[in-house]
Amino acid sequence: MNLDQKLFFIVEMDIVRAIYYYILSIAAVLSIFNRPKDRSILLLQIYIISIFIIEVSALVAIYLGGYNNVWIYNLWVIIQFPFLTKIIFSQFKSKHKYLEKLCLVVFTTLPVCNFLFWQGINTLNTLTMQIGAVYMVILVLFYFRSLLDTPEKSIIRNPYFYIGTALLIFYVGTVLYYTFLNFFIKSDLITYTQISYILLLINWVTYSLFILAILLDSNNKRNKYLLKSG
Amino acid sequence: MAENGTDYFFIIASGTAILLLLVTFIIAFLFIHQKKYFEHQKRISQLNAKYQEETMKAQMEMQEKTLEYVGRELHDNIGQILSLIKLNLNNPEPEQIADSKSLVSNAIKDLRALSHRMNLNWATDISLHDFIESESKKIGNIGNFKVVYQSNGSLTIENNEDKVVLFRIIQECINNILKHADAKEIKFLVEEEQHLTILDNGKGFNLEEVEKGSGIVNLKNRAHLIGAELKIGSEIGVGTQIDIFLPQT
């Protein structure tokens, strides 16, 4: 890979990483301009915009002089689980309010405690990522199970099916990545970088599916409007 | 180094296998869900077809009843009046002519009433309250029954076709009471919103035996078609109670 190319505006990076940033940018722009009626899609859009800001901040930190930007990624580790918990729980037909509150409390307190007291600010909070990823995989599988109980609507046009699929792929990939992370770090840097591309490819798929979900929601909204107006 | 290479191969192969399994799982899930979705759609269209069929059947039965009623009215009432007029006109004295004029007026009035009854859209103009009241009056006019109608709540069905089905259910219940109950008193009670009770003090029946027949099943199916629930309770020697719970509007 040629690392000297300026592929994402003024920032030097390889093509795989650049494509990830372009996909994330498209998702962020779409999130800024789309006006969803559904509160959970709005949450997803806010989540995407937050990730975009975090990623751009991390890039700016590198550009300004190679500062340690791990603490910026740790912020993302903290915010993701409450957001995604709200989005997935909103889709369960029978509302589990108590369980939702419990998950929200646990997956807000745990990342904050890890950030402040255990792994710290300047170390990537892998513990939070691993536990959270397993939790998200289980939550999405429960959501898929609940989809089978409600066959009234086709999931082909259901944005939440794509959000669930994106999260499942992303977090299964994350669990695998972080499980073998220590092994990769011990090996040579080139192999580690090559392996980390897999995580970037998973990110491509994840954010592409998020884009698809937002577009579908917008399309469904327009169809409903057309049906209403006649 | 060789050991390291084997480890890499193992990790990458297992990672790829897990991700492939995941993709297979998602595709399989998509297929299973779509299969369930199409089965559900098929079931819905079958239910819709059955509903249409039942509605048509109910409408046909109502038309038949109307035609029967019209035929009877023409034969027994208008025909009789016209025969009287003919008799009067055989001997056209002033008194007979005046009598004939009055008979012609009556015939016109009866024909208008008949025409009103023949209007098949009558269901739109009549409320459930008016319908039950008119049915109560009809039964009361037979003379063998004490009929009570008490209404403390409202009964509403917005869909005209559903309303016709409900009329048919009520008429079927009345027919059953008249035919089989041997009752002296019939009560129509609306004690709460969207809940109609039809009570009689007849001989009652063994619910388990009668439920096997198609009459009660048909009544329940018809109620189910319009989103209502029909419950029957009966005790031999005491009477029968039919509760119809209409969907909340």
Mapped onto helix, strand or coil, the DSSP state of residue B145 is: coil
End-to-end CA distance of chain A: 55
What ipTM did this prediction achieve? Answer: 0.76
The pLDDT-based confidence of A228 (bands split at 50, 70, 90) is very low
Does residue A79 have a pLDDT over 80? yes
In chain B, residues with a C-beta closer than 8 Å to the C-beta of A133 are none
Residues B223, B215: Cα–Cα separation, whole Å: 12
Asked if residue A147 has pLDDT above 80, the reply is yes
- Neighbour count for residue A3 (Cβ, 10 Å): 10
Judged on CB neighbours under 10 Å (0-12, 13-18, 19+), B24 is: exposed
Q: Check if the beta carbon of residue A3 is closer than 8 Å to that of residue A11.
A: no
pLDDT digits (tens, 9 = 90+) for A65-76: 766 778 788 888
Q: How far is it, in rounded angstroms, from Cα A157 to Cα A149?
A: 17
Q: Tell me the two tokens of residue B32.
A: 């299973």
Angle at B138 between CA B137 and CA B143, to 5 degrees: 90
* Residue from B24, B33, B38 whose CB has the most chain A CBs within 10 Å, to mutate: B33
What distance in Å separates residue A132's CA from the closest CA in chain B?
A: 18
Amino acid letter at B92? P
Say if CB A221 and CB A182 are below 8 A apart: no
Radius of gyration for the alpha carbons in chain B, expressed in angstroms and rounded: 31
**Cα gap A34→A214, rounded to integer Å:** 8
The kind and range of the H/E element at A129 are helix A126-149
Is A180 close to B32, i.e. CB distance below 8 A? no
* CB contact at 8 A, A40 and A90: yes
Six token digits for residue A35: 């006006």
* pLDDT of amino acid B117: 64
| pLDDT value for A8 | 60
* B33 to chain A, closest Cα gap in Å: 6
Beta strands in chain B (DSSP E): 146-151, 185-192, 195-200, 229-235, 239-245
pLDDT along chain B (249 residues), means of 10: 60 77 90 91 78 74 78 80 81 82 86 69 77 81 80 86 84 81 88 92 82 77 89 89 90
How far is the alpha carbon of B27 from chain A, nearest alpha carbon, in Å? 10
- pLDDT at residue A26 is higher than 80: yes
pLDDT band of A230, cuts 50, 70, 90: very low
Nearest CA in chain A to B8: A184
Q: A138 to chain B, minimum CA–CA distance in Å?
A: 13
> In one letter, which amino acid is B150?
Q
Q: Decide: helix, strand or coil at residue B62.
A: helix
Coil, helix or strand at residue B120:
coil
Taking only residues 19 to 58 of chain B, the set having a beta carbon closer than 8 angstroms to any beta carbon of chain A reads 19, 22-23, 26, 29-30, 32-34, 36-37, 39-40
* B242: three-class secondary structure by DSSP: strand
Cite the DSSP H helix spans in B74-159: 79-90, 94-118, 122-125, 128-142
Residue A187 pLDDT level (bands cut at 50, 70, 90): low
- The answer to whether residue A185 scores a pLDDT higher than 70 is no
With 0-12 / 13-18 / 19 or more C-beta atoms within 10 angstroms meaning exposed / middle / buried, residue B180 is middle
- Strand intervals (E) in chain A: 6-8, 11-12
Count the neighbouring beta carbons within 10 Å of the beta carbon of residue B100: 18
Helices A159-179 and A189-229, axial angle in degrees (round to 10): 170
pLDDT of residue A189: 64
Contact B153, B192 (CB under 8 A): yes
Enter the DSSP assignment of B247: P
Per the CB < 8 A criterion, the answer to whether A24 and A207 are in contact is yes
CB contact under 8 A, A191 and B8: yes
Residue A12 has pLDDT above 70, yes or no: no
Rounded Cα–Cα distance for residues B204 and B151 (Å): 24
Query: CB neighbours of B16 closer than 8 A, spacing ≥ 6?
Result: none
3-state secondary structure of B73: helix
Task: Please tell me which residue of chain B has the smallest CA distance to A152.
Answer: B37
pLDDT of residue B5: 62
Give the pLDDT score at B100.
Answer: 84
Contacts of B34 in chain A (CB under 8 A): 154-156
Q: Is B156 helix (H, G, I), strand (E, B) or coil?
A: coil
Which tokens go with A145?
């199970």
Q: What is the pLDDT at residue A2?
A: 47
pLDDT at B53: 77
Query: Residue A91 contacts by C-beta under 8 Å, 6 or more apart in sequence?
Result: A40, A143, A146, A160
Per-residue pLDDT tens digits for A201-210 = 889 999 999 9
CB proximity A153 to B under 8 Å? yes
